Every structure is written in structure tokens, then in C-alpha cells.
Structure 1
């Protein structure tokens, strides 16, 4: 038997704004868009993947943003790690995120780490790792 990691669900005050923000960050496509729930997936992933198990298991994960009434109040227990390719300018990518509304975050990571912690527009922490080719 096989299970597929299908999505990560993110509680949001404004699910539509969060979904659009993350779709732009990741260059993904928005495939479901209502005030209550929005779904973004990689552009190379078909919204309706083939029905065979092998292809279905290889399909990429999505992000689902659901509207909730409460604000985020504590540090995330789960977060997204983003990584630029070695051919990309990591500092320019971080600046792009900051220009889009991300903010820097101190979660106790210290000055000697190889990643940068940021927050999305609703305060959810995520990291930009060092450049890599895998």
C-alpha cells in the first residue's frame, strides 16, 4: 500500500491573499480560489493527474490555504524550506521575497547558520536555505 503526501494546509486570515502570495513566490498555479479555501500546485503538475498509481504517487504536493478567524500567535511547529539553485543569486531571491512583503524573523537561529528565516505576510515562518543543486 502507498500513501502520497498530498498537501500542506495553512490556516489563513485571508486565504485568497495568502494563496496568491505563495503562488507568486513559488511560481505555482492557483487551481481553486474561494474566500474559504484556495489551492496552489506546481505549474508542471496537472490539476487532474493520470489515474494510475505510479503517476499519481509522483505528482507534486500542493498548498491549501483555509480561512480561519484567529491570527497566528506562536512560532510554527512545521514550516516550509525554500532553496535556490546554485545558479541563482540567493541574496537576490531573499530580497525579492522581502519586496513582496516577507519580513525577517528571529526564532533563535543564531548568526552562524546557513539559512535565513522569514515570515510570510500573515506571520508564518519559512526558511531560505543555502543554494544547492539537489
Structure 2
């Protein structure tokens, strides 16, 4: 029996700002928000009850942002990879992320890698991969 990967939880200082930044980045929407967490899911994903287990297992993952008092001190052990479609301008997508508050990050990658490492506004690393069509 398998379990569904339901969500990824991201520790944050400003959960509302982080959730909104990632929701815009991924074209997600906020589905829950209070002082203790903010949850975002893909816009196409339904919030309706799904009775069928197989259908429920095929649902996409969400992100949940929770408050923590401490700051980030080391490289993430887990990170998100984003990929543009081959019809998208990868450099323009990276520029848009930088304009919205992402920063270039060095986690020890070589100069000739096919991905770009960035950090979100609170310093969490993520990668923008080469363009793909699958």
C-alpha cells in the first residue's frame, strides 16, 4: 500500500508573505490561512471531497507554510526543482523570479550545470532546471 504525498511543509518567518510568493511562482491559490499555517494548492485542484481512493492518490501536492522563530542557517536538505516548458523563455522566468525577490544562490554547484540555484525571499534554495517537455 502506498501513501499519497500530500504536502510539503516550509518553515517561515512570514508565512503569509512566503505563501503568497510561492503561490504566485507556481500559479497556486491559497486554500487556508490562519496565524499558524497557510496552505496553497494548484489552481486546477479541487477542494471537494474525493471518495475514490485511486482518484485521491493522483491529486497534486500542496505547500504549507508554518511559523518558526529561528532563521535558516544551513543549506536545505530538501529543495524544490522548477522546470520551464520548452515553449517558455527560461532566462525570462528566472529574471521574473529575481525581480520578485529571489536571489542567486551558491550551494557548491559547478559553473557548467544545466540548472540555476535560487533562494526564495527567506533564503530557501530551489532550482530552475533546463527547459523540458515531459
Provide TM-score, normalisation by structure 2: 0.97
Structure 1 match to 2:59: 59
Q: CA deviation at 1:104?
A: 0.2
SS class of match (1:41): strand
Aligned to 2:127: 127
Unaligned 5+ segments in structure 2 are: none
4+ aligned runs moved over 4 Å, structure 1: none
Contact 1:14 1:35 in 2 (8 A): no
Q: Which residue of 1 aligns with 2:45?
A: 45
Whole-angstrom CA distance in 2 between matches of 1:21 and 1:129: 19
How far apart, CA to CA, are the structure 1 residues paired with 2:35 and 2:73? 22
Question: How many aligned residue pairs are there?
Answer: 134
After superposition, the C-alpha distances for 1:35-73 in whole angstroms (9 at most, x for unaligned) are 220000001111234221011001000000001111111
CA 1:37–1:114 in 2, change beyond 3 Å: closer, same or farther?
same
Q: In the alignment, what sits opposite 1:7? A: 7
Is the 8 Å Cα contact of residues 6 and 62 (structure 1) preserved in structure 2?
yes
Give unpaired runs (5+ residues) of structure 1: none
Q: What is the 5 A alignment of 1:1-134?
A: 1-134=1-134
The CA RMSD measured in Å over matched residues stands at: 0.8
CA contact (8 A) 1:15 1:66 kept: yes
